[in-house]
């Protein structure tokens, strides 16, 4: 109650006291003179006393209510603090597990990369020792020492020893770059995937293209090492990409040399099985010839990856009479077909029906080597969904801002 209410109540008490004073002589005629005044004052004081007791009691109840509210607020604050403490502890444990997992991933990647580098050092050293009688140079290459004469890539042919030296030091000095070529949706030409390629730079930062080093790499056994190094460069890009563009995938070629490398391939399979989150980002690509020659052990290892969500692609198709059911059962979800082969109707399936035939087995057909507008117009006549070629973009360095990664 506010103060005005109290004043009105006390005024009512005074009115009652006055009424008692005026009425008491008539009700009690035997009262002595002046007694009615004492009776009126007594009634007023008694009323004030009772009102004071009422105010005191209400004040205590109000105080108790306030204290109860404060206690409830305090208890809620304590409960909230405990929840925040538990949440903070969970976040710390999660961060600790994340850091441990990340460290384990880095250690695993470094072990694989160390294996790759050891292979390069060993194989390049042996190759040089066999090709030249200069044992000093062979020791320098195999031992990983720096030096050597840089040659500019002005279209001149390099010797095998020069190419091996460039490849060795490029790996040692981190001069093997990842290039990405877009795979687009048709007819919108929107980039949906990227295919990964490797490019090697010499000491003068001149690019050595695969056409220059691939024959020697295949002859010396280095191609598997380079292919797998390319894969891990691609994984580094995926790590940087994080959760952005979750549907963007990267096609990485795996050579037959890598598949049959008894030292590296089991380690590679274990690494992929431990990093299942890469399944939505990576598509491993094999040539048709390698797919047809997969050994039982290789097939079993790839099937283990397939069951974990990894998907495969087949390129360099020579024979288009493909058992699509068998291919799909082996977790192949992409097949690349040359635009020229499609237009020349090299498959037994009519071009108008080929897309539907692959789609029945949940396999996407990618038409590659599309180099001009006339070709794309003819490809679109057959309703193809995906295309690749210089018309849509040449391979670019993965750090190129035009890729919008």
How many structural domains are present in the chain?
A: 1
Q: Which residues of 389-399 are buried (b: 16+ CB within 10 A; e: fewer)?
A: bebbbebbebe
Query: Residue 66 burial by CB count (10 A; 0-12/13-18/19+): exposed, middle or buried?
Result: exposed
**DSSP annotation of 262:** T
Q: How far, rounded to the nearest angstrom, does the alpha carbon of residue 305 sit from its chain's CA centroid?
A: 19
Residue 26 within a domain = no
Q: What is the pLDDT of residues 68-127, one digit of tens each?
A: 888 888 888 888 888 888 888 888 877 766 555 555 655 555 555 555 555 555 554 444
In a domain, 151, yes or no: no
- Reading the block at residue 177, the tokens are 């770059």
Instruction: Report the pLDDT value the prediction gives residue 97, as an integer from 0 to 100.
Output: 66
- 319 domain-assigned: yes
* 206 part of a folded domain: yes
Which residue would you say has higher pLDDT here, 43 or 340? Answer: 340
**What is the distance between the alpha carbons of residues 271 and 107, in angstroms, rounded to a whole number?**
11
Report how far residue 176's alpha carbon sits from residue 199's, in angstroms, rounded to the nearest whole number. 6
257: pLDDT strictly greater than 50 = yes
**pLDDT at 56 exceeding the cut of 80:** yes
Highest mean predicted confidence (pLDDT) among 55-59, 226-230, 280-284: 280-284
- H or E element in which residue 197 lies: strand 190-201
Q: What is the per-residue pLDDT across 290-347, written as a single tens digit (0 to 9) for each?
A: 999 888 889 999 999 999 999 999 999 988 888 999 999 999 999 999 999 888 887 7
Q: Residue 385 — pLDDT band, cuts 50, 70, 90?
A: very high
Q: Name which residue leads in pLDDT, 326 or 34.
A: 326
- Residue among 365, 364, 361, 369 at smallest CA distance from 390: 369
239 or 212, higher pLDDT: 239
On whether residue 4 sits in a domain, the answer given is no
| DSSP β-bridge partners for residue 196 | 180
> In whole angstroms, how far apart are CA 286 and each of 86, 93, 268, 311, 312?
49, 41, 16, 11, 8
**What share of the chain in percent tops pLDDT 70?**
81
Answer yes or no: is pLDDT of 222 > 60: yes
Lowest mean pLDDT among 248-252, 253-257, 375-379, 388-392: 253-257
CATH of the domain at 251: 3.20.20.450
- Domain range spanning residue 250? 179-403
Residue 35 has pLDDT above 70, yes or no: yes
**Terminal-to-terminal C-alpha distance of the chain:** 70
Average pLDDT over residues 141-165: 51
Kindly write down the DSSP assignment for every residue of 265-296, as one continuous string: HHHHHHHHHH-GGGGGTEEEEEEHHHHHT--H
Report yes or no on 21 lying in a domain.
no
For residue 119, is it left (φ>0), alpha (ψ between -120 and 50) or beta? Answer: alpha
């Amino acid at each position: 109650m506010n103060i005005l209410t109290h004043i009105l109540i006390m005024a009512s008490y005074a009115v009652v006291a006055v009424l008692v004073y005026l009425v008491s002589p008539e009700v009690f005629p035997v009262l002595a003179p002046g007694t009615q005044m004492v009776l009126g004052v007594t009634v007023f004081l008694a009323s004030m006393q009772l009102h004071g007791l009422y105010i005191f009691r209400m004040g205590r109840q109000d105080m108790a209510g306030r204290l109860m509210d404060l206690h409830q607020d305090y208890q809620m604050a304590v409960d909230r603090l405990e929840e925040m403490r538990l949440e903070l502890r969970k976040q710390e444990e999660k961060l600790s597990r994340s850091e441990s997992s990340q460290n384990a991933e880095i250690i695993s990647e470094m072990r694989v990369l160390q294996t790759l580098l050891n292979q390069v050092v060993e194989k390049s050293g042996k190759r040089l020792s066999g090709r030249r009688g200069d044992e000093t140079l062979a020791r320098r290459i195999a031992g990983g020492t720096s030096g050597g004469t840089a040659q500019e890539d002005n279209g001149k042919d390099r010797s095998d020893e020069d190419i091996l030296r460039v490849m060795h030091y490029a790996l040692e000095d981190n001069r093997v770059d990842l290039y990405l070529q877009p795979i687009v949706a048709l007819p919108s030409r929107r980039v949906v995937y990227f295919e990964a390629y490797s490019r090697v730079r010499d000491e003068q930062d001149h690019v050595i293209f695969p056409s220059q080093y691939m024959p020697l790499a295949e002859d010396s056994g280095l191609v598997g090492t380079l292919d797998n190094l390319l894969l891990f460069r691609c994984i580094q890009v995926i790590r940087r990409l994080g959760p952005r563009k979750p549907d963007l995938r990267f096609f990485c070629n795996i050579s037959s040399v890598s598949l049959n490398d008894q030292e590296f391939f089991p380690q590679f399979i274990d690494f992929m099985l431990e990093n299942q989150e890469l399944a939505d980002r990576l598509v491993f690509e094999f040539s048709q010839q390698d797919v047809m020659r997969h050994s039982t052990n290789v097939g079993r290892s790839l099937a283990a990856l397939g069951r974990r969500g990894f998907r495969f692609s087949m390129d360099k198709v020579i024979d288009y009479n493909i058992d699509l059911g068998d291919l799909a059962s082996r977790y192949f979800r992409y097949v690349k077909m040359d635009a020229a082969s499609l237009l020349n109707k090299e498959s037994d399936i009519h071009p108008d029906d080929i897309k539907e035939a692959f789609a029945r087995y949940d396999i996407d057909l990618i038409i590659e080597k599309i180099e001009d507008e006339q070709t794309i117009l003819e490809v679109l006549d057959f309703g193809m969904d995906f295309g690749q070629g210089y018309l849509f973009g040449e391979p670019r360095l993965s750090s190129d801002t035009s890729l919008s990664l």
